[in-house]
Amino acid sequence: MKKYRLGVVGQGSRGRGMFRWFSENFEDIVPTAACDIVPKFWYETKENDMTMAERMPQVTFYEDFDEMMAKADLDILMVETPATNHADFCEKGLKAGVHVYSDIPTVRSLEEAQRLWKAQQASDAMFMSGSTTCGWGFILELQNLYKKGLLGEPVAMEAEYIHDCRSLWEATPWRKPHVKWGSMPIRYCTHSLGPLLSILKEDLRKVYCVTTGSKVTDNEFANDYNSAFFQTDSGVVVRMTASFINNCAGCNHSYRIYGTKGYFERIPDKGEGRPPKTIFSSTVSDEMKKLTELPIDFSPYTSEFGKRFESKAANSGHGGADVFLMQWFMEALRSGAKEAPITLRDGLRMTIPGIYAAESVIQGGKTLTIRYPWDDDFEEDAKTYTKTYTN
pLDDT in tens, 65-103: 999 999 999 999 999 998 889 999 999 999 999 999 999
* Residues contacting 182, CB < 8 A, separation 6+: 221, 390, 391
Say what the pLDDT of residue 391 is: 44
Residue among 61, 58, 53, 57 at smallest CA distance from 10: 61
Residue among 138, 167, 163, 186 at smallest CA distance from 298: 138
Residue among 221, 182, 142 at smallest CA distance from 389: 182
In three-state secondary structure terms, 232 is coil
* Residues contacting 302, CB < 8 A, separation 6+: 137, 295, 296
C-alpha span between 176 and 232 (Å, rounded): 32
The full set of domains in the chain, from first to last, is: 4-133+316-342 (3.40.50.720), 136-299+350-390 (3.30.360.10)
Strands 277-282 and 262-267: antiparallel
For 172, other C-beta atoms within 10 Å of its C-beta total: 14
The per-residue DSSP string of 310-322 comes to: GGG----SGGGHH
The per-residue DSSP string of 5-66 comes to: EEEEE--SHHHHHHHHHHHHH-TTEEEEEEE-S-THHHHT-EETTEEHHHH-TTSEEES-HH
* Residues contacting 294, CB < 8 A, separation 6+: 138, 141, 278, 279, 280
Q: Which amino acid is at 346?
A: D
Say what the pLDDT of residue 254 is: 95
Q: Which residues of the chain have pLDDT under 70?
A: 181, 270-273, 311-317, 386-391
Element (H, E) at 215: none
CB 160 within 8 A of CB 254: yes
In three-state secondary structure terms, 157 is strand
* Residues contacting 143, CB < 8 A, separation 6+: 198, 199, 305
User: Per residue in 332-349, is it b (16+ CB within 10 Å) or e — as a string?
Assistant: bbeeeeeebbbbbbbbbb
Sign of CA pseudo-dihedral 113, 325, 18, 31: negative
Residue 105: is the preceding peptide bond cis (ω within 30°)? yes
| Strand-pair partners of 154 | 259
DSSP 274: B
pLDDT in tens, 288-324: 899 999 999 888 888 888 888 776 666 666 777 888 9
Residue among 110, 71, 56, 112 at smallest CA distance from 88: 112
pLDDT in tens, 367-383: 999 999 999 999 999 98
